Structure 1
Amino acid sequence: MTSLPSKAEFAAIQKGYSPNASRSLSLNADAYIDPRWFNVDLKEIFAKTWQWVCHVEKVREPGSYIAVEIAGQPIAVVRDREGVLRAFYNVCKHRAHHLLSGSGTSTRIMCPYHAWTYRMDGQLVRAPHTETLEDFNTKDICLDQVKVEEFCGFIYVNLDPQATSLSEQSGDLETEIRHWAPDIDKLTFGHRLTYDIKSNWKNVVDNFLECYHCPTAHKDFCTLVDMDTYKVTTHGIYSSHMADAGNSSSSAYDVSNATVKTHAVWWLWPNTCLMRYPGRSSIIVLNVIPAGPDRTLETYDFYLETPEPNEMELQTIKYLDEVLQAEDISIVESVQRGMNTPAFTQGRIVNDPDGSGQSEHAVHHFHGLVLEAYARGA
């Protein structure tokens, strides 16, 4: 089992970072390559933050459920018979077998190992052949609950029993998202893209949070949006990335019939990105999932006006999959390799005080949140 960093290392990891982005270095390379820091990420960040699960449509009806893994833990989210949203560790209280798989609807939760059966509120109601047990009562046994919240049309869970609500933590984020995407609750799942990336999750987030690299690495993207209007604003535990759609023809995909003319993106600490690209009304959810010190899984879920993407959305999906993602994956995998050499420890944050897209102040904001979590872990 990998140990955690020492107190001295917790102190040293802060070196070079300044609260002033114009004076700051980036996060130390050790945080991206050392398995001990990856363990801190799981314990102090992912196990204590709000993690995206799905769109509310998955668990809208009483009896609906979805089983997922959050920070390495099996979790089930259900809507009970009274319509209350609940989340539990997806683990039977008898012999720790998993309970639910995938998603669907049910009137009960029955363990596939010994048929112990729970109500949708987690209360045990039946345990076969336990009549002769002493001091045993099904009413005393209930699944371990996890914090769950419906926020902006999506479901999030938090494994930290002390966590305050996502709504409270995120300030004006919901107001901002609903201003640009007022129909977000009514959208429906249309498509999923998945990726397995040879890079630490923080490199993936770093790359997402700045468009300083866009003119060099994403020339098609720079025709999709008007880079002169690109602004990035940081707040508490999120950042907003806004730009107008490009005025000329786009080489990324055809936006001539677009009803949404704004490129609006929100990053929510630590690993959820909500995107509204020019086109029809839609939301793309990027979920960045840490799978190892140098491995990240990504899902891109497209929520659309209709279950089937239209021609413009098919072009969008193709562009994101075959062009934009291919470019970004190549970048972050190269950065990960570079961080594993003796040639790199930290680099300067490039900061524009006016908050343009071609600035790394949102990366600096993210690094500050990482270091705050590390300080708490120390």
Structure 2
Amino acid sequence: MSNNKLMIDTNKSLPSQYYLDSDIHEKEKTKILYRNWHYAGHVNQVANPGDYLTLKLGDESLIVIRGDDGELKGFFNVCRHRAHRLLEGSGHVKSITCPYHAWNYSRNGELRHAQNADKMPGFDKSDYCLSGYQVATLCGFIFVNLDKDATPINDLADGLEEDLRQRIPFLDQLKPIQYDTGRPSSINANWKNVVDNFLECYHCTKAHPAFVNMIDMDKYETEIFDIWSRQYASTAKPENKAYQFDKHTSVQDMCFWFLWPTTALGYFPGAEALFISAILPDGVDKTTRFGHWLVVDETPLPDNFNNYMNNVLFVEDIALCESVHQGLRSQSYNQGPYMIDPDHSGISEIAVQHFHGLIRQAIGYAQGG
């Protein structure tokens, strides 16, 4: 087990109020969402100057765009005139024009044109450039952070890039699947419920029967690090109830990673493919999990792979998270124990405890825990 510098001082889970209280949710926005690194996309989605994507983070709408200098830029998706939203979705632009009063900005964020500005004494276009934030890449993945003074992601996630490259030899060959649809993305549960569920496989034997028929749970391991964790199973069965795969394919194992506070990624056996997603709050009791699959050179996925992921595994997890969220409203429940055996087996909840410690560290302790 890795040396975890975070001191955990409780053996019980977060109290229910952490998942239900609107004041705590507001505190999370200012102290977690707006001060940490979140996954936004892949560099191949914004490969050329003018290519852009947008995302929602709490109350903020954000733009990531490839500037004329070839560098990635991060701008708040808000016109500096009257606060109208500038861009929607993803695409390509020669410049950014506000749909409201046609203020026009360069792809580097400078205000280029504002009607009648030349008739206003003292009006300086340089005073009204788009407001920006930090953008960084890690292994080709784009991350954003609204805190301009935040520590670089590679310094915070010490050892993560090395671990990814060691376990994913095809990492630099991955490209997003162009038409990656059909996967549920909206969950009627607090975002921390969704993260909790991702971080443990204690529930897998009961809740994911096809998964445990494929993965050798005796070889399942969980490790925690400063702000990230890893779940790994070294062997899997090509003939199984989830989807069948070639026993000679290069990927015969499974690995999931979590990067504080919202990024989940990993691969399944049978294909040189990787999923990555951001688990983002959309209010107290709703979560949006957005992301995509990436593959090597349009590698075909095993038969029934997409059906199992989209219509079985993800649906099972969504039902679990939504049921837990409803149960947290019961007057009969406040906290439960972490199930962590002395050997820290792969099905223990050590990564959930680690995540909860980071939550408590970020926003402080609410009454009762």
Structure 1-normalised TM-score? 0.89
Aligned position for 1:56: 43
Aligned position for 1:363: 352
Deviation string 1:305-328 (CA, Å, 9 cap, x unpaired) is 244x6251x522211122112221
Q: AA paired with 1:147?
A: Q
Deviation string 1:40-71 (CA, Å, 9 cap, x unpaired) is 22221111111111111111222211122122
Q: Does 1:269 align with 2:260?
A: yes
1:288 Cα deviation (Å)? Answer: 1.3
Aligned position for 2:275: 284
Aligned position for 2:361: 372
Query: Where do 1:61-210 residues align within 5 Å?
Result: 61-190=48-177, 191-192=180-181, 193-210=183-200
Whether the aligned pair in 2 keeps the contact of 1:109 and 1:120 (CA below 8 Å) is yes
1:186 Cα deviation (Å)? Answer: 2.9
Q: AA paired with 2:296?
A: E
Counterparts in 2 of 1:300 and 1:132: CA distance versus 1, 3 Å: closer
Whether the aligned pair in 2 keeps the contact of 1:272 and 1:285 (CA below 8 Å) is yes
* Secondary structure in 1 matching 2:62: strand
Q: AA paired with 1:359?
A: S
Residue among 219, 222, 233 paired with 2:223: 233
* Secondary structure in 2 matching 1:292: coil
1:165 Cα deviation (Å)? Answer: 0.9
Counterparts in 2 of 1:195 and 1:103: CA distance versus 1, 3 Å: closer
Aligned position for 1:27: 14
Q: AA paired with 1:251?
A: K
Aligned position for 2:284: 293
1:147 Cα deviation (Å)? Answer: 0.6
Q: Does 1:214 align with 2:204?
A: yes
Whether the aligned pair in 1 keeps the contact of 2:238 and 2:244 (CA below 8 Å) is no
Aligned position for 1:8: none
1:129 Cα deviation (Å)? Answer: 2.0
1:200 Cα deviation (Å)? Answer: 1.1
Counterparts in 2 of 1:284 and 1:45: CA distance versus 1, 3 Å: same
Residue among 313, 322, 343 paired with 2:311: 322
1:256 Cα deviation (Å)? Answer: 2.4
Residue among 324, 327, 341 paired with 2:330: 341
Q: Structure 1 CA distance, aligned partners of 2:366 and 2:31?
A: 6
Q: Structure 1 CA distance, aligned partners of 2:300 and 2:151?
A: 40
Whether the aligned pair in 1 keeps the contact of 2:139 and 2:161 (CA below 8 Å) is yes
1:93 Cα deviation (Å)? Answer: 1.1
* Secondary structure in 1 matching 2:126: helix
1:261 Cα deviation (Å)? Answer: 1.2
Q: Structure 2 CA distance, aligned partners of 1:58 and 1:352?
A: 43
Whether the aligned pair in 2 keeps the contact of 1:125 and 1:139 (CA below 8 Å) is no
Q: Structure 2 CA distance, aligned partners of 1:317 and 1:248?
A: 16
Deviation string 1:268-290 (CA, Å, 9 cap, x unpaired) is 11111011111221110132121
CA RMSD of aligned residues (A): 2.0
Aligned position for 1:354: 343
Counterparts in 2 of 1:345 and 1:332: CA distance versus 1, 3 Å: same
Structure 2-normalised TM-score? 0.91
Whether the aligned pair in 1 keeps the contact of 2:238 and 2:270 (CA below 8 Å) is no
* Secondary structure in 2 matching 1:203: helix
Aligned position for 2:3: none
Q: Structure 1 CA distance, aligned partners of 2:97 and 2:188?
A: 38
* Secondary structure in 2 matching 1:346: coil
Aligned position for 1:7: none
Range 74-83 or range 346-355, more displaced: 346-355
Q: Structure 2 CA distance, aligned partners of 1:83 and 1:248?
A: 43
Structure 1: runs of 5+ lacking an equivalent: 1-17
* Secondary structure in 1 matching 2:185: strand
Q: Structure 2 CA distance, aligned partners of 1:122 and 1:353?
A: 54
Q: Structure 2 CA distance, aligned partners of 1:349 and 1:332?
A: 17
